[in-house]
């Protein structure tokens, strides 16, 4: 699936930005979703959302959603690549876009969608010692998923899975 072309007809196509803050010690920016949302309420995620036809590409979806949720404009994002498509247990195919956030961006949190915006050091996320493989039952099916605990935050499921994929790519796997 080429993230730069119009996605094939699918009901649940989505894209997220994995925003790496370009500093002396790089970090990754996350959102904590608002607790009153109908889907994934209170979960930690990357900025992103459902593909809309007017976006044209997954890249545009990721950039549009990032600006809507965090206020970070596309001129502050240097896109460096894409990770493997991630199929969620809820039936979404998510295209992760990796980008560096250039200095000078301003955060403007969308209060309807985002409860909090926070950062986690990249080196912490990439360290396998900070990850756990967990199991849970959902609708009669047992699933395994990655989990990363950082301070009072638990990053799990699709978001943690994309971090693992990023780590594998950086290691050449």
pLDDT band (50, 70, 90) for residue 32: very high
Mean pLDDT of 7-23: 83
What is the rounded average pLDDT for all residues in the chain?
90
Instruction: Measure the CA–CA gap between 153 and 130, rounded to whole angstroms.
Output: 12
Residue 150: per-residue pLDDT: 97
Compute the distance between CA of residue 138 and CA of residue 134 in angstroms, rounded to an integer. 13
pLDDT of residue 26: 97
Give per-residue pLDDT as tens, 65-124: 999 999 999 999 999 999 999 998 888 899 999 999 999 999 999 999 899 999 999 999
Q: Is residue 3 very low, low, confident or very high in pLDDT (cuts 50, 70, 90)?
A: low
**What CATH number should be reported for the domain whose range is 13-124?**
3.90.79.10
Query: Could you tell me the residue ranges of all domains in the chain?
Result: 13-124
Report how far residue 161's alpha carbon sits from residue 135's, in angstroms, rounded to the nearest whole number. Answer: 13
Per the CB < 8 A criterion, the answer to whether 162 and 95 are in contact is no
**pTM beyond cutoff 0.85:** yes
**pLDDT over threshold 50, residue 165:** yes
Q: Which residue has the tokens 């994934």?
A: 40
Instruction: Quote the pLDDT of residue 7.
Output: 54
- Cβ contacts of 139 within 8 Å, gap of 6 or more: none
Residue 16 binned pLDDT confidence (cut-offs 50, 70, 90): very high
């Amino acid at each position: 699936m080429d993230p730069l072309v119009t996605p094939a007809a699918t009901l649940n196509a989505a894209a997220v930005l994995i925003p790496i803050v370009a500093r002396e010690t790089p970090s990754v920016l996350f959102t904590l979703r608002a607790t009153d949302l109908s889907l994934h309420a209170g979960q930690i995620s990357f900025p992103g959302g459902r593909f809309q036809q007017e976006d044209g590409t997954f890249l545009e979806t990721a950039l549009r959603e990032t600006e809507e949720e965090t206020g970070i404009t596309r001129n502050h994002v240097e896109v460096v690549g894409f990770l493997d498509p991630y199929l969620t247990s809820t039936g979404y195919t998510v295209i992760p876009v990796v980008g560096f956030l250039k200095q000078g961006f301003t955060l403007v949190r969308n209060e309807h969608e985002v409860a909090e915006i926070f950062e986690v050091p990249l080196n912490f996320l990439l360290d396998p010692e900070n990850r756990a493989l967990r199991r849970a039952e959902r609708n009669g099916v047992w699933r395994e998923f990655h989990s990363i605990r950082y301070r009072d935050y638990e990053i799990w499921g699709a978001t943690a899975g994309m971090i693992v994929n990023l780590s594998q790519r950086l290691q050449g796997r």
